[in-house]
Amino acid sequence: MKINSKIATAVFGLAFAGTAVHAQSLDDAKKAITAEQYQKAKTMLKNLTVTEATKDENYFYLGWVYLKQDEADSAKIWFNKGVAVNPKSSLNYVGLGAVARLNKDQAGATSNFNQALALAGKKDSKPYVYIGKSYLLTNNGAPLAPYSASPADAQAAIDVLNKGVAINPKDAELFLTLGDADLTQLKSDAYSNYSTALDLDPKSPAADVAQGVLIKYANNFDDAIKDFQAALQIDPNFGPAYREWAETDARWAKNDPKVAVDKANEAITQYKKYLSLTDMSLESQMRYADFLIFAGKYDELQALTKQLSTSASVNLRVYRYLGYAAYNNKDYPAGLTAMNTWMTKADPKRIIPLDYTYLGHLQIASGQDSLGMQNLRKAYSLDTTQTDVLGEIARSLYTQKKYKESGDAYALFVSKSKGATLPDLFNEGRAYYFAYDPKKPDTTLLAKADSAFSQVQQKATKPVAAVSLFRAYTNDLRETDRNNIKGYAKPFYEQFVALTTAKATISDADKKSLVTAYDYLGTYYELIAKDPTKAADNFSKALALNPTDPQALDYQKRKK
């Protein structure tokens, strides 16, 4: 029988089309998720929910992709559809528990997780895997942070994953996720768990990459890159290996100035390879934005996020990054507009302490000091590890001449932050000094000022003239009984004179302060020590620097 060529073409086309659809199995979709090809995975899984509509796993993995993309509401829709298809779907109950947890509904999370485990088969370890992963999820899309899970969440993940190991010690994904949980707390167990995952599945590029990430955080960059290369030998198109390679190069650049430029450029190259191997989805580009923050590439970050913000399907998180970038680029109006958009439109659960920090910085830079300090305080109250904001608050209060509050903020900053410097301690002293009001004398302010100045001198490699001068000023104010002067300031003025006159060049400001010191010392020797020779010597030195000095001229008149 003769076959019409057009019909044959159509039949064979349908046959091959059917094969192509069949090739897009759940395993293919899961591989796409692991490779961070989220758009590709979503397309596959949406097709599978049509062609295999009764298979509840299809709905779970589709919902999981939405969770990975920080879209919990959409994820919940698919998990509920999975439960509707199969009321005994343990994985979809895991998904519902993950959504509840991200929504800070701990009771709902626990209930759904328990339901999932009750429905799981005796040897079914996947619910344990994904409950563990759920504890490691964040719902705010925080910028690149290797240790984002809290100790409590990490331990909850470890506990449930170990229960999974007890029922199925051959599941490589269990050990891979255990390693991830350990890594968030920098536990040494991470390495052994990643190694076990590799032993169980030697063809897993994800396990090699995970092991490389762990080594990266030990700053063993060469060996980390070897692990990424090993992953690429297994699968040359495994994008996450290039992403982690890029982030390793960026960390290397920060740690070694000798290779900083080369490694920073190489990092960009590797990251672009990663992007080329993903589907260039918005989420992939958002991860690139994370990387640009880590790498300090704020010009490129601002350009990227400005472009992404014009998309109709924009993720609001773009505005966060646009705000961060614009602040670092000193484009304060654009930064403030972007951060206000993020803070007012994003779900409050997605706001992180760092957002308040940047908003506060932008407000202060835009002249909105009161609002700025309010947001910086909010950032610190939510995350007391953000001690650098205390320095910003202290500096802003000092600018506003709110010296007592500034001194208190500096004192807290110096005591809490590893980033505090000797100039910050000096500013603490100056703030307390200027806060003192002789009309309403509070000697505790002088004591705090002198203590701060004293600490600066003790910690400095050599005495600092400016500190000696302020100690002199401070101790002079201690002389509340002007009829019974003790000379508290004398040793500090003498130290200031010795340090300043030893300089190769004496500035005009130095000369003015020297005159003040000589006047004090001259008066001390005339009235307190009764040493006319030293009194005359000091007043003569004052006049040599300032022939119109009233105090020295008055002394000369009295002597005549």
- The pLDDT, as a whole number, for residue 280 is 74
Q: How far apart are CA 318 and CA 308, in angstroms?
A: 7
Residue 90 near residue 122, CB atoms below 8 Å:
no
State residue 295's pLDDT score. 77
CA–CA distance, 475 with 490 (Å, rounded to integer): 9
pLDDT at 544 over 70: yes
Token pair in block for residue 232? 């690429």
For residue 61, the number of C-alpha atoms closer than 13 Å in the C-beta half-sphere is 27
By CB neighbour count within 10 A (0-12 exposed, 13-18 middle, 19+ buried), where does 162 fall? Answer: middle
Residues of the chain by 3-state class (helix, strand, coil), percent to 5: 75, 0, 25
- State the pLDDT at residue 21: 39
* Cβ atoms of 136 and 181 closer than 8 Å: yes
Q: What is the 3-state secondary structure (H, E, C) of 171-226?
A: CHHHHHHHHHHHHHCCCCHHHHHHHHHHHHCCCCHHHHHHHHHHHHCCCCHHHHHH
Helix (H) / strand (E) element for 286: namely: helix 282-295
At 89 the pLDDT is 96
Q: What is the mean pLDDT of residues 374-401?
A: 89
For 198-238, the pLDDT digits (tens) are 999 999 999 999 999 999 988 999 999 999 999 999 999 99
Say what angle helices 465-477 and 443-459 make with each other, to 10 degrees. 160
Instruction: Decide whether 202-296 matches 462-559 in CATH topology.
Output: yes
**Higher per-residue pLDDT: 289 or 426:** 426
CATH of 202-296, one of 1.10.40.50, 3.90.1300.10, 1.25.40.10, 1.10.260.40: 1.25.40.10
Q: What is the CATH number of domain 462-559?
A: 1.25.40.10
Residue 146: both structure tokens together: 């290797």
pTM, two decimal places: 0.66
Query: 192 in the Ramachandran plot: left (φ > 0), alpha (ψ -120 to 50) or beta?
Result: alpha
* φ, ψ (nearest 5 deg) of residue 304: -65, -50
Of all residues in the chain, the percent with pLDDT exceeding 90 is 68
Nearest to 302 by CA among 271, 273, 332, 277: 332
Residue scoring higher pLDDT (179 or 347): 179
pLDDT at 362 (0 to 100): 96
Q: How far apart are CA 375 and CA 359, in angstroms?
A: 7
Report the pLDDT value the prediction gives residue 151, as an integer from 0 to 100. 87
Indicate the range of 320-329, 358-367, 420-429, 476-485 predicted with least confidence: 476-485
Residue 6 — very low, low, confident or very high, per pLDDT cuts 50/70/90?
A: very low
The DSSP secondary structure of 315-381, one letter per residue, reads -THHHHHHHHHHHHTT-HHHHHHHHHHHHHHS-GGG--HHHHHHHHHHHHHTT-HHHHHHHHHHHHH
Average pLDDT in the 72-97 region? 96
* Type of residue found at 378: K
Contacts of 264 (CB under 8 A, 6+ apart): 249, 250, 253, 295, 297
Quote the longest CA-to-CA distance of the chain: 139
Task: Tell me the C-alpha distance between 551 and 540, whole Å.
Answer: 11
Which whole-number Å values give the CA distances from 150 to 101, 163, 185, in the listed order?
13, 20, 8
Q: Which residue, among 174, 82, 104, has the nearest Cα to 94 in the 3D structure?
A: 82
Q: Looking at 38-52, 70-84, 136-150, 497-511, which range is the least confident one? A: 136-150
Domain ranges of the chain: 202-296, 462-559
Residue 15 has pLDDT above 60, yes or no: no
Residue 312's pLDDT band (boundaries 50, 70, 90)?
A: low
CA dist 240 and 91 (Å) reads: 25
pLDDT in tens, 94-148: 999 999 999 989 999 999 999 999 999 989 999 999 999 999 987 555 444 444 6
Residue 483 pLDDT greater than 80, yes or no: no
With vertex at residue 85, the alpha carbon angle to CA 80 and CA 90, rounded to the nearest 5 degrees, is 65
Return the top range by mean pLDDT from 80-94, 135-149, 389-403: 80-94
